[in-house]
Structure 1
Amino acid sequence: MMNKKFQPLFEKVKLPNKVVLDNRFVLAPLTHVSSHDDGSISNEEVVYMEQRSKDVGLAISAASNVTDLGKAFPGQPSVAHDSNLEGLKRLAQAMKKNGAKAIVQIHHGGVQALPNLTPDGDVAGPSPISMKSFGEQEEHHAREMTEVEIQETIKAFGEATRRVIEAGFDGVEIHGANHYLIHQFVSPYYNRRDDAWGKDRLKFVSEVVDEVTATVKEYGSKDFIVGYRFSPEEAETPGISMEITQSLVKHLIEKPLDYLHVSLMDIHSKTREGQYKGQERVKLLLEWIEGRMPLIGIGSIFTAEQAIEAVESTHVDLIALGREILLDHNFISKIKDGKEDEIISEFDPERKDRHHLPPNLWKQFNKGFYPLPRTDKK
């Protein structure tokens, strides 16, 4: 029997397009480095995504590149070609099997793309920059995208959306967070252009969102979900500030979106600087969204207590599980069955079942690629 105090986690959530989610839990979009080299879906990935999607209201797939130039991870899934459809159909069925709404996160790495994974080692973004990206030892150089390439990339987000619809998914999440292409256009650190795309740093966001929603109108149903993920503040100077995020949020709530998703390492994280310094980011965001659409919060939730505390203290509508649902894919069912004290909240490299992770992802965890509570580091 479930402990009554966890009941609010299992309340249904209605999206602006009237779709109802079974509970407040969301499977965060997690890089699993397990697709085939050509971006097609692997069997391991299907099994893993089915396990992780089984109890959530909303399940979001790993960031999936919309063009070959945008590939930013080894083993990244692709939505760039019609040839990807066959695997995507299998993935959609697996993720939807137990009633979760299945979403594909559509993504372009921009200057963070990896030259060893892109055609001719080419990398491009808003402005030229040299930087290290996912797992790189040496810096790579990224060039500036041309006007034509920008237009082609916007269209590619639309084409990716069409494929996601054809594959039978319930929605897309536009990846505007974590220093990837859409985020780069918003950021004064990455976007130093002096053309229209630099003068109005929300122009690219706006056109991608419009392209995606127009594609949904043409090919999808009114039940098709469109979400948007963003990072509220950047460490870089001059970077994205909470003030810039306020204008982004005010812009996004006027669009026909079904939710916003904030990328954070800690749900209670506070604003670093500026006029909102010291205030909790999630509370500010909820104020700015004005109840127009749900907000997904995320960040360092490893126990049932932390999950209920996050919902009750911030009043966030939905709560995404990232690292924790990888450690224990029964996290939600254990809360439901009153077995929350049996939840696995630490990475144990000695576990025979290896936390049911695909081999490449287990290796990343074991190497300490992601910050995690661990049994071997007390």
Structure 2
Amino acid sequence: MSNHLFTPFELKGLQLKNRIVMAPMCQYSVIAKDGKPNDWHYIHYLSRAVGGTGLIITEMTDVEPDGRITDYDLGLWSDEHIPAFSRIIDGVHAHGAKIGIQIAHAGRKAEDAAEPVAPSALKFPGSRYKTPRALKTNEIKDMIQLFGNATRRAVQAGVDMIELHGAHGYLIHQFQSPFTNRRQDVYGQDLAKFGVEVIQAVKKEMPDEMPLFFRISAVEYADGGYDIEHAIDMCKAYQAAGVDAFHISSGGEGPAGERKPGNYSGYQVPFARRIRESLRVPVIAVGMLEDPALAESVIGNEDADLVAIARGMLRDPYWATHAAISLRSENTHVPKQYERAYL
């Protein structure tokens, strides 16, 4: 009988009914390219709340229009976006789940931007990417403020937590990586500086009791990319700046070289455990963890504090309910309207 995956979790003012997180996954479903979530997003996120998920993290939501991966992604660059997010957040809360927004900027991976920006003018490989323009030192301060502005709007919309996206080759990751940051100014001399200042900007907009999560790539796979020791150094700087928990992924900076990502269940769990032990900080593990027994073992073995389910939850909105039944958890919750289907 499960005693781990379906136990409550608390971090500052965030109280979760279980350890299950819906990982942020882009839907590429914005109508009219305005950045506002629509009925697709409303149904998408509420169905996972009905399905028993403890914490839902919305897809990568960008701080300016040209900071999106594509023009079909979400944004929080305007107060006009707030009501659409509030509708989703209120609905998720009504079904017993908590919800946060992942705030980001795609940097050199902004496919539809007329002129992407990045720490350095280094193009991401592939025909659909453009060579970015290196941000000027004085422009970086304005970019950092955009993260703060988006956070203010997310808080106003009613979120329970904020996650910053510092993984998968997007802008914060680009600054923290010697592979993509070749600057000669202070933002190249201190690879954590941009991320630290973003953290400081968003913390100013968050209530004291609201936790800040940070998604990081623990290792890079491109030849010349950083290893986990570098990621730990970055995490220490980010923790000191105010991060309360880390969401541990890997890669995204470019095509894999000699070192390849795993293609098996739980391949990123050792990264999560290493960062958890090094910093003594709560972590989310992610990466092909949709087998309920495996997810249970990750929590039970204290590899991580929370488990994020990505593609498994795209396939099954009720993954959490089905996992509880599979694990014979005492905390199985089936909506009253569906109970007769489980008798």
Bin the TM-score by the shorter chain. 0.7 to 0.9
Q: 1:294 aligns with which of 282, 287, 301?
A: 282
Q: Distance in 1 between matches of 2:272 and 2:152?
A: 32
Contact 1:111–1:181 (Cα < 8 Å) also in 2: yes
- Aligned in 2, Cα 1:305/1:153: closer, same or farther, shift over 3 Å? same
Q: 1:247-293 CA deviation, whole Å, 9 max, x = no partner?
A: 112222323333111115767437xxxxxxxx932221121122xx3
Q: CA deviation at 1:245?
A: 0.8
The match for 1:274 is: none
Q: Distance in 1 between matches of 2:128 and 2:58?
A: 29
Q: Distance in 2 between matches of 1:256 and 1:129?
A: 30
Q: Distance in 1 between matches of 2:78 and 2:233?
A: 34
Q: Distance in 1 between matches of 2:273 and 2:34?
A: 41
Q: 1:50 aligns with which of 35, 46, 51?
A: 46
Any residues of structure 2 matched to 1:280-359 within 5 Å, and which? 280-290=270-280, 293-338=281-326
SS in 1 for 2:75: coil
- Aligned in 2, Cα 1:181/1:337: closer, same or farther, shift over 3 Å? same
Q: 1:175 aligns with which of 147, 165, 185?
A: 165
The match for 1:33 is: 28
Give, as a single letter, the amino acid of the residue that structure 2 aligns with 1:230.
Answer: I
Residue 124 of structure 2 corresponds to residue 131 of structure 1? yes
Q: Distance in 2 between matches of 1:139 and 1:158?
A: 27
Give, as a single letter, the amino acid of the residue that structure 2 aligns with 1:331.
Answer: W
Q: Distance in 2 between matches of 1:154 and 1:12?
A: 34
Deviates more, 1:105-114 or 1:87-96: 87-96
Task: Give the TM-score normalised by the residue count of structure 2.
Answer: 0.86
Q: CA deviation at 1:132?
A: 4.2
Q: Distance in 2 between matches of 1:11 and 1:165?
A: 27
Q: CA deviation at 1:27?
A: 0.7
The match for 2:188 is: 198
The match for 2:73 is: 76
Q: Distance in 1 between matches of 2:58 and 2:49?
A: 9
Q: Which runs of 5+ in 1 are unaligned?
A: 271-278, 341-378
Any residues of structure 2 matched to 1:108-147 within 5 Å, and which? 108-114=105-111, 116=112, 118=113, 121-132=114-125, 137-147=127-137
Contact 1:52–1:326 (Cα < 8 Å) also in 2: no
The match for 2:89 is: 92
Q: CA deviation at 1:313?
A: 3.6
- Aligned in 2, Cα 1:61/1:107: closer, same or farther, shift over 3 Å? same
Contact 1:268–1:282 (Cα < 8 Å) also in 2: no
Q: 1:174-213 CA deviation, whole Å, 9 max, x = no partner?
A: 1101000000000111100000000000000110000010
Q: Distance in 1 between matches of 2:178 and 2:327?
A: 47
SS in 1 for 2:76: coil
Q: Which runs of 5+ in 2 are unaligned?
A: 251-261, 329-343
Q: CA deviation at 1:74?
A: 4.2
Q: Distance in 2 between matches of 1:48 and 1:18?
A: 26
Deviates more, 1:316-325 or 1:259-268: 259-268
Q: Distance in 2 between matches of 1:314 and 1:269?
A: 16
Q: CA deviation at 1:297?
A: 0.4
Q: Distance in 1 between matches of 2:326 and 2:187?
A: 52
SS in 2 for 1:283: helix
The match for 1:160 is: 150
Residue 61 of structure 2 corresponds to residue 64 of structure 1? yes
- Aligned in 2, Cα 1:28/1:138: closer, same or farther, shift over 3 Å? closer
Residue 148 of structure 2 corresponds to residue 151 of structure 1? no
Q: CA deviation at 1:331?
A: 1.3
- Aligned in 2, Cα 1:250/1:267: closer, same or farther, shift over 3 Å? farther
The match for 2:245 is: 259
Contact 2:245–2:282 (Cα < 8 Å) also in 1: yes
SS in 2 for 1:141: coil
Contact 1:27–1:53 (Cα < 8 Å) also in 2: no
The match for 2:267 is: 269
Q: Tell me how many residue pairs correspond in the alignment.
A: 314
Identity fraction in percent: 27
Contact 2:14–2:161 (Cα < 8 Å) also in 1: no
Q: Distance in 2 between matches of 1:339 and 1:228?
A: 30
- Aligned in 2, Cα 1:48/1:147: closer, same or farther, shift over 3 Å? same
Q: Distance in 1 between matches of 2:323 and 2:306?
A: 16
- Aligned in 2, Cα 1:177/1:267: closer, same or farther, shift over 3 Å? farther
